[in-house]
Structure 1
Amino acid sequence: MTSSVRPTRSWPSSRDAPATPKPMIPSSRVLTARSTRVNKTMAEQWLSFQKFAVWGAGVSGVAAANLLARRGKDVILSDIKPLDALAEVQERLHPKVTLVGGENVLEGREVIVVSPGMKPSHPDFTRARELGAHVISEVELAWEASKARWIGITGTDGKTTTTSLVGQMLQQADVEHVVAGNIGLPLCAVVEELSEDAVVVAELSAFQLWSCHNLQPAAATVTNVAADHLDYFESFGEYADAKLRIFELQKGQGVAVVPMRDRLVRRWFKEPKGQRMVGFSNRPDDVSELDEAVWFEDDQGWAREEDGVDLCWLESFEDTELFGAHNQLNLACAAALARSVGVSWEHITEAALSFEPLAHRMEYVGEGNEVAFVDDSKATNAHASLAGMQNLDAGFVVIAGGVDKGLDLKGWAKYVAREAGAVVLLGEIAERMEEALKEAGATKVHRAASMEDAVEQAFKLARPGSTVVLSPACSSFDMFESYAQRGRVFQAAVEALISSLP
């Protein structure tokens, strides 16, 4: 088939499995890494209280309530849903947890463990503080209940891939660990049994971080900060502060892995903070002045450690199943984080070569009549959408739209108008997207009533040799349960279309 993806990789990769490269790693440096263990300066503070309210009966709320009950606390789990809608939740609760429906219970509670779905501006938080209650994240409880070292990963884009890569690297090195948090597995459900030699790889959202106080990860990163979730936070500044909070929480200890291509995050580290700083980039010039860094140069993975000697740990990015500049950044970041807790470069390389890309992240779906279909449903903001589309040759057809989070669409629309052959829009934001695209000069903008309709229209608009990409630049909750369900519906529609072709 004719490839529509840069660089030379086709959809899907048809090459033979690559031979394991032989990176230039001095054997004497394979296992060296400075300790990243930190002291829990405020350990057990929250768990010294007795009366807790957990607001929100989602998976993290249930996990938090059960952990507290196991610790002998007086716990009320409440949800604004009526009690008769919470029968399934009751079945998953520790018998000593009291479940209340129809309200957020506050009176008589010392600590409120908050659902990440509740905005910081919610009036119930003001009421809680007026009554002297502490408002904390489920992450805080998991941190205090854990003996293990933590790696904290947040950012607007790339955090799930980076988190998964770090987990793969620890697995390759046979390090006791768990991958949890915003990635889907509640931290409170899995941290208590880990030893002090284990590592918790925690994907953390801004929704969780704003209500963290004591969390102190041994290694932390903010993959990037771009406009997102302005329907949740009152301003971009508030959102950015929630992300950067992960570095503040380190209290000057441990390792901070810093994206040198992100001006906002890089600027935050202009003055020394106390942590050991490791920069990462996909451009060597970004890290040339740093004492420690991980980067890509001419498709090779490189690192500079404390002795100042540069070493090559990956001979060719093309030998992995990842592609695109954004995934070079994710891999470099993950390598720096894994290395910070002592994983050898050999194991990091082996993990990079064996890693299978995650679903709905520029995932190849199929091909029909020389048109490739790619699922990037995880691109839930304009910045993430651009990161994926920039790996496609001009002339692609994009399916976009979803929930309007109030994000600026000008840059996204300008790129799409210049590079895309056509656009098919759906969801509640379609009208605003169409206005932005036409203002940017786009001429082929179409509307669809459903995902199936969008796939059919996009296929008719695509030229042979081009790509149809689902790149929503929006959340999914107007039409779908999640970005994953949106991706599955897209893939099913593509498969039905391809099977119907002569």
Structure 2
Amino acid sequence: MKEAPQLYQKKVLVLGLAKSGFTAARILNKLGAFVTVNDSKPFEENPEAQELLNMGVTVICGRHPEDLLEEGFELVVKNPGIPYTNILIQSAMQKKIPVWTEIELAYLISEAPFIGITGSNGKTTTTTLLFHMLNQDNKNPLIAGNIGTVASGVAEKAKASNVIVTELSSFQLKGTVAFRPTIAIITNIYEAHLDYHGTIEDYRTSKMKLTSNQTTDDYFIYNADQPLLVEHAKSCKAKLVPFTLKGRTEESVSADDNYVYWQGEKLIERSKIMLAGQHNLENILAAAAATLIQGGTKETIIRVLTSFTGVKHRSQFIKEWQGRKFYNDSKATNALATKSALEAFPENIILLAGGLERNHSLDEIRPFMDRVKVLVTFGETAQRFTAFAEESGVQTIIQADKMDDAVKKAIQASADGDTILLSPACASWDQYDSFEIRGDAFISAVHQMTEANE
């Protein structure tokens, strides 16, 4: 870990604990900063705060005193989930106190370079694919960020021989100042998280911060099929590496209906790629380009693409049984995500959908409902999905209770050649505590019911 003399004896407020706040507070304390932690959870229920207190960190729990910033803090490091409308964050900005997320801290202390990946969709799959490709090519990657591993904790242990493959959200990037990845990837940008950012302009600006400090020594990999990113690339100092799904080009990485290409040469036949879906092809192109820039080999890329079946709960291939293929896309908690999943399969889909009622529009998936042979719906939105499917011309609509019942009815209604796809287009919280638990219930039911009939 690098020393950070600019933080030594600086008075720092860490706002919000969870994993990222705890790690940031511990590292800042180790660097010699005077750290105060403020978290809403009561101290007696807060083991992280208790541990930090034992390290000598000042801890204020159970409330957020409005006058806290009167104590002369020189820096605020906030949990990414805390909105900028928070009264303490507003006060800090008015006082011109810098507000960081722990990504900035990770960059300051890391001996290893960063590869940063962001986008409205696909960043987890791209991050995971790239990590596997670099790992199999012995490039010493570490994985971090929004994918679940706190970046500053990874950076603390990283060596110069490593590279940190980092998934980054707009929430995290908004709180960066000097952060500079040697390779930056933006998979795509759509309208999202307006409840947090307030405007689409702030959301986009936060995403684009990924490239703002790059130099001519760095690389920017971007989706050339999005005019917004093409325009942004014009102002970037990094070497530009566009990717496109609109046919073979001599420039960097591209794809047509049959092949993926690198600089115009065939890299892999698309039919040999295990990861299904046009949306996943964007992720594949971005990961392949970054791997080759980082010194990886085409052979490793091919080996990964012919074996990688997807990130868990994101169009994850489960198994094939009696001619039916089962896919778990429980992460699809909105219509746009389900649209991407439906695009991956041209026909004969048994779609399992439904969940928490948020009154979100389903119009994104309407053009693809002609691919749905049977709809099995469940949860609070069951009736609305039923009406929507009837309007969309789906011939067979089945209502189920929870996941085991939905899987059972889906199998009963299916035939050889069908795809049984869980892509709910809704959050899980009406029946399950998380989309992960919902997806695990699907996987368990699939294995239980197919193995009973083998």
Q: Which category describes the TM-score, using the shorter chain as reference length?
A: 0.7 to 0.9
User: Does the 8 Å contact 2:335/2:363 carry over to 1?
Assistant: no
Match of 2:170 in 1: 206
CA distance in 1, matches of 2:106, 2:33: 15
1:222-243 Cα deviation digits (max 9, x unpaired):
1112343344333444333322
Q: For residue 357 of structure 1, report the CA deviation from its aligned partner.
A: 3.1
Larger displacement relative to structure 2 (455-464 or 54-63): 455-464
Match of 2:410 in 1: 458
1:195-230 Cα deviation digits (max 9, x unpaired):
334311111012211222221111111111234334
Q: 2:262 aligns with which of 294, 303, 317?
A: 303
CA distance in 2, matches of 1:444, 1:435: 12
User: Does the 8 Å contact 1:230/1:405 carry over to 2?
Assistant: no
Q: For residue 164 of structure 1, report the CA deviation from its aligned partner.
A: 1.6
User: Does the 8 Å contact 1:177/1:194 carry over to 2?
Assistant: no
One-letter amino acid of the structure 2 residue matched with residue 246 of structure 1:
L
User: Does the 8 Å contact 1:56/1:77 carry over to 2?
Assistant: yes
Is 1:488 the counterpart of 2:425? The answer is: no
Q: 1:277 aligns with which of 226, 230, 240?
A: 240
Match of 1:381 in 2: 334
One-letter amino acid of the structure 2 residue matched with residue 204 of structure 1:
L
Q: For residue 333 of structure 1, report the CA deviation from its aligned partner.
A: 0.6
Q: For residue 448 of structure 1, report the CA deviation from its aligned partner.
A: 4.2
Q: 2:279 aligns with which of 323, 326, 329?
A: 326
Q: How does 1:216-255 map to 2 (within 5 A)?
A: 216-250=180-214, 254-255=218-219
Change (3 A) 1:237 1:420: farther
One-letter amino acid of the structure 2 residue matched with residue 234 of structure 1:
G
CA distance in 1, matches of 2:42, 2:398: 41
Q: How does 1:85-234 map to 2 (within 5 A)?
A: 85-87=45-47, 90-91=50-51, 95-104=55-64, 106-107=68-69, 108=71, 109-234=73-198
TM-score, structure 1 as length reference? 0.79
Is 1:84 the counterpart of 2:47? The answer is: no
1:142-170 Cα deviation digits (max 9, x unpaired):
01111221110011222112112221222
Q: For residue 337 of structure 1, report the CA deviation from its aligned partner.
A: 1.3
Match of 1:469 in 2: 421
* Count of residue pairs brought into register by the alignment: 449
Change (3 A) 1:253 1:61: same
Q: 2:25 aligns with which of 65, 77, 89?
A: 65
Identity of aligned residues (%): 31
Change (3 A) 1:167 1:364: closer
Q: For residue 193 of structure 1, report the CA deviation from its aligned partner.
A: 3.1
CA distance in 2, matches of 1:347, 1:90: 46
Q: For residue 466 of structure 1, report the CA deviation from its aligned partner.
A: 1.9
User: Does the 8 Å contact 2:113/2:164 carry over to 1?
Assistant: yes
Q: For residue 498 of structure 1, report the CA deviation from its aligned partner.
A: 3.4
Change (3 A) 1:112 1:408: farther
User: Does the 8 Å contact 1:228/1:381 carry over to 2?
Assistant: no
Change (3 A) 1:118 1:45: farther
CA distance in 1, matches of 2:428, 2:144: 23
User: Does the 8 Å contact 2:342/2:368 carry over to 1?
Assistant: no
User: Does the 8 Å contact 1:160/1:203 carry over to 2?
Assistant: yes
CA distance in 2, matches of 1:130, 1:123: 11
Gaps of 5+ in 2: none
Change (3 A) 1:354 1:425: closer
Match of 1:391 in 2: 344
Is 1:74 the counterpart of 2:62? The answer is: no
CA distance in 1, matches of 2:93, 2:395: 53
Match of 1:316 in 2: 269
Root-mean-square deviation (Å) = 3.2
Change (3 A) 1:440 1:319: closer
- Aligned to 1:421, what secondary structure does the other structure show? strand
Gaps of 5+ in 1: 1-42, 305-309
Q: For residue 410 of structure 1, report the CA deviation from its aligned partner.
A: 1.1
- Aligned to 1:256, what secondary structure does the other structure show? strand
Q: For residue 301 of structure 1, report the CA deviation from its aligned partner.
A: 3.0
CA distance in 2, matches of 1:45, 1:444: 66
Larger relative contact order (C-alpha < 8 A, sep ≥ 6)? 1
User: Does the 8 Å contact 1:136/1:212 carry over to 2?
Assistant: yes
1:165-208 Cα deviation digits (max 9, x unpaired):
22122223322331111111111111123233431111101221
User: Does the 8 Å contact 1:148/1:196 carry over to 2?
Assistant: yes
Q: For residue 442 of structure 1, report the CA deviation from its aligned partner.
A: 4.9
Q: 2:14 aligns with which of 54, 68, 71?
A: 54
User: Does the 8 Å contact 1:178/1:201 carry over to 2?
Assistant: yes
Change (3 A) 1:350 1:95: same
One-letter amino acid of the structure 1 residue matched with residue 425 of structure 2:
A
User: Does the 8 Å contact 2:9/2:34 carry over to 1?
Assistant: no
Identify the structure with the greater helix proportion. 2
Change (3 A) 1:452 1:217: same
Is 1:409 the counterpart of 2:362? The answer is: yes
Larger displacement relative to structure 2 (247-256 or 429-438): 429-438
Q: For residue 44 of structure 1, report the CA deviation from its aligned partner.
A: 5.2
One-letter amino acid of the structure 2 residue matched with residue 378 of structure 1:
K
User: Does the 8 Å contact 1:115/1:137 carry over to 2?
Assistant: yes
Q: For residue 492 of structure 1, report the CA deviation from its aligned partner.
A: 1.8
TM-score, structure 2 as length reference? 0.86
Change (3 A) 1:402 1:205: farther
- Aligned to 2:165, what secondary structure does the other structure show? strand
User: Does the 8 Å contact 1:254/1:276 carry over to 2?
Assistant: yes
Change (3 A) 1:117 1:299: same
